[in-house]
C-alpha cells in the first residue's frame, strides 16, 4: 500500500520509500522501486538538503488550473532541493528575498497540501 505523497510530513522529515532490493530512495513514497521495480518500504526522509537549482515565476500562470488569490499574484520561486539522502525534490521556496536565493543554500522541505514547500534551514536544524 503506497503512502499518500500529499500527506503531511511525519514528526521530522518527509514520507518517502526505499527499495528493499537495490536501496534506491524515492519521494513521494511508492510501493515499487522506480529503478528496478522491486518492492519498496516506507522510509522517513530527513527533509533537509541544499538548493540544486531554481527559477522565479514572475507572471500569473494560465487559468485554469491556477486560481488568482484575492490579493493578486505575487512572484514566487520554485526549485529542486537535493536531500541528504541524495534525491531531489521539487518545492516552492518560501523565502523573504527572491534575489537572495543561491544554489547550495541549506533548505528544509515539508510536505502538505499540494506541492512540497522549502524554507531556509536555521543553524539549529543543520545536521539534525
Which tens digits make up the pLDDT trace of 53-88? Answer: 999 999 998 888 888 889 999 999 999 999 999 999
Which tens digits make up the pLDDT trace of 20-44? Answer: 999 999 999 999 999 999 999 999 9
Beta-bridge partners for 54: 79
5 phi and psi angles, rounded to 5 deg: -65, -15
Amino acid at each position: 500500500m503506497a503512502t499518500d505523497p500529499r500527506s503531511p510530513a511525519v514528526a521530522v522529515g518527509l514520507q518517502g520509500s526505499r527499495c528493499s532490493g537495490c536501496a534506491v530512495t524515492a519521494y513521494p513514497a511508492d510501493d515499487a522501486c522506480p529503478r528496478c521495480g522491486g518492492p519498496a518500504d516506507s522510509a522517513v526522509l530527513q527533509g533537509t538538503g541544499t538548493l540544486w537549482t531554481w527559477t522565479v515565476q514572475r507572471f500569473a500562470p494560465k487559468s485554469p488550473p491556477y486560481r488568482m488569490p484575492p490579493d493578486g499574484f505575487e512572484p514566487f520561486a520554485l526549485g529542486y532541493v537535493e536531500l541528504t539522502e541524495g534525491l531531489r525534490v521539487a518545492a516552492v521556496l518560501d523565502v523573504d528575498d527572491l534575489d537572495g536565493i543561491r544554489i547550495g543554500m541549506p533548505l528544509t522541505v515539508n510536505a502538505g497540501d499540494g506541492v512540497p514547500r522549502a524554507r531556509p534551514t536555521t543553524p539549529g536544524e543543520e545536521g539534525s
